[in-house]
Amino acid sequence: MKTVLAAATALLAFTAVPARAADDDITYDEVVDCAAYTNIMGQFMLAGDSVTDEHKATAATLQKRAAALLAYAMTVFGKEQDATLADFKTHNDSLMSGIAESAKTPDGLENWMKSRGERCIPMGEAAAEAIDQLAGKK
């Protein structure tokens, strides 16, 4: 992920990226948290014995989105890569604890995933699309 992250960050840093997203209320922690959520969802797609090519493609898309979110966090909020990756790990660990805790109640995990997904999926899509546009892929 470090290589993809470095390339995406360089691309964002050397192009006309606005200082902040259209949603000025977004914070660094929210972006990194969504990167961790997106990463975990990608890992879930590869869990189990019946992983299909579709699962693998979805996991790759989610990993790309997680990297795009981290690149965005570093570029827009002026954070160093090592610090951002450390924060990402912290958020990832916290989210894994939240998943374990929410799984203890009926519909808890589903509700947890839905509430995070409503916020994080569009954010990840937008970050990945921005990088693709800057790279001339779209």
Q: How far apart are CA 70 and CA 87, in angstroms?
A: 10
- Comparing 73 with 132, which gets the higher pLDDT? 73
Task: Give dist(CA 100, CA 24) in Å, integer.
Answer: 32
Buried b (16+ CB within 10 A) or exposed e, 65-102: bbbbbbbbbbbbbebeeeebbebbeebbeebeebbeeb
Average pLDDT, the chain: 82
This prediction's pTM: 0.79
Domain count, the chain: 1
Structure tokens given for 119:
């916020």
pLDDT given for residue 13 in this prediction: 47
Average confidence (pLDDT) over 90-119: 87
The pLDDT, as a whole number, for residue 136 is: 76
pLDDT at 98: 86
Provide the residue range defining the domain that includes 46. Answer: 2-134
pLDDT at 20: 40
